[in-house]
Structure 1
């Protein structure tokens, strides 16, 4: 599971870097995210996020159980140390993955808003310049 979460984190980081800088892939990624947010896409992403939250809470519960067992015994078991490190890594990867998913969602939203504002500014400039040309030719 750690390998899958690591791959997921690397993919999410790549998406964030692509969305952060203007490049040819950015338009493609934005269009892909637009398509993902249509239809059943939001339902699927919310279901996956909820499942990841449940797995994260289960991992945190397991971590607290291991800590409690170590405190009750008074000595640290090497097996518990390995299990604890693995569970902490899983929890960190799950938490980072959920956070990066939110970052990607917000970046996509802001890019769409910026593009919409740019289009509105272009149309406003065109109408204003056309109006000025009409006024000048009318005088």
Structure 2
């Protein structure tokens, strides 16, 4: 989900609600403590140099149980970050504290925002010799392969 998507959704909401993929809701008293741009400049295992850039929202729970972030307040925070930081219309990554800081993709289900688990992957599987999922299943797990 891009920043422009969030900005178009917020005016339609009475409350800002986030739900984790496992069904757990982020407590109602959360804060958005940061909005920024995260840039990652790296080389993958195949030797390709890559640049990734996302808009980052950081959610945090405090002990102020009466706090509620309203859509208009979040919109103001977004506008300020666009003005002061020059944030572009990028994909959003959400940081939220679990056992460690988790990073999530953001979706919307028509009622509230969903924090979708992010996963790692090899970006150069062809260079590493990693078989595709289809090849792996047919080569290794066929009934006569004796490997499963």
**TM-score normalised over the length of structure 2:** 0.20
Larger-gyration structure (1/2): 1
Q: Which has the higher contact order (CA 8 A, sep 6+)?
A: 1
Structure showing the higher helix proportion among its residues: 1
